[in-house]
Amino acid sequence: MTGLVALVDCNNFYASCERVFQPALRGKPVVVLSNNDGCVIARSNEAKALGVETGAPWHLYRKRFEELGVVVRSSNYTLYGDMSARVMTILADFTPSREVYSIDEAFLDVAGSPDVLAEHASRLRQTVLQWTGIPVSVGIAPTKVLESFRG
Ligand SMILES: [Mg+2]
């Protein structure tokens, strides 16, 4: 098989960035707020499991978050931009045909059998996690708008 596209997407990107240099936040519900602490724009898996919604206005949920033990962070775009650059540099090492799509997503041209692609995706996820601390998901499909495999 040739001519496939992999979409690499950082998981819960802003919340994951907050954890990189604060390991004590791992395993805890973490949310990141929009500019001026308006509303929730990123949630860790633990915060999602508690039912915290994207867009939740901080001033309405502040007490509830305290009760639930949700760790709240103001957004830090300098940090997110830096972590994004680190992730994208690693992806470029995996393939010269990397297209940065957003701060936490990139398309890569890939080719190979399903087994080879699964191994490639697994190695990519492990490398990005090990070198940056950011967990990513990889979806592989014939085109940028179709998804047929997620590893
Ligand atoms: Mg993402």
Q: Which residue did the predictor score with more confidence, 93 or 3?
A: 93
Q: For residue 141, what pLDDT is reported?
A: 85
Q: For residue 77, what pLDDT is reported?
A: 96
Assess whether pLDDT exceeds 70 at residue 150.
no
User: What band does 148 get if pLDDT is binned at 50, 70 and 90?
Assistant: low
Q: Which segment of 2-6, 83-87, 106-110 scores lowest on mean pLDDT?
A: 2-6
Q: pLDDT above 90 covers what percent of the chain? A: 83
Q: Which amino acid is at 93?
A: D
User: From ligand 1's centre to the CA of 11, what distance in Å?
Assistant: 5
User: From ligand 1's centre to the CA of 88, what distance in Å?
Assistant: 13
Q: Which of 129, 90, 121 is nearest to 4 (CA)?
A: 121
Q: What digits encode the pLDDT tens for the residues 109-138?
A: 998 888 999 999 999 999 999 999 999 999
Assess whether pLDDT exceeds 90 at residue 95.
no
Q: Which of 14, 66, 62, 61 is nearest to 35 (CA)?
A: 14
4 within 8 A of 17, measured Cβ to Cβ:
no
73 within 8 A of 33, measured Cβ to Cβ:
yes
- Residues identified as active-site: 105
User: From ligand 1's centre to the CA of 137, what distance in Å?
Assistant: 8
User: From ligand 1's centre to the CA of 8, what distance in Å?
Assistant: 8
Same fold, 4-11+78-150 and 15-75: no
**Could you write out the DSSP letters of every residue in 6-72?**
EEEEETTHHHHHHHHT-GGGTTS-EEEE-GGG-BEEEE-HHHHHTTPPTT-BHHHHHHHHHHHT-EE
- Delimit the domains of the chain by residue range: 4-11+78-150, 15-75
Q: For residue 145, what pLDDT is reported?
A: 74
Query: For strand 4-10 and strand 71-74, is the pairing parallel, antiparallel, or unpaired?
Result: unpaired
CATH of domain 15-75: 3.40.1170.60
Phi, psi dihedral angles at 95 (to 5 degrees): -155, 140
Mean pLDDT of 43-47: 97
d(CA 146, CA 149): 9
Look up the pTM and report it. Answer: 0.91
Residues with CB under 5 A from ligand 1 (ion): 9-10, 13, 104
d(CA 32, CA 89): 24
The rounded mean pLDDT for the chain is 93
Assess whether pLDDT exceeds 70 at residue 149.
no
CATH 3.30.70.270 corresponds to the domain 4-11+78-150: yes
Q: For residue 96, what pLDDT is reported?
A: 81
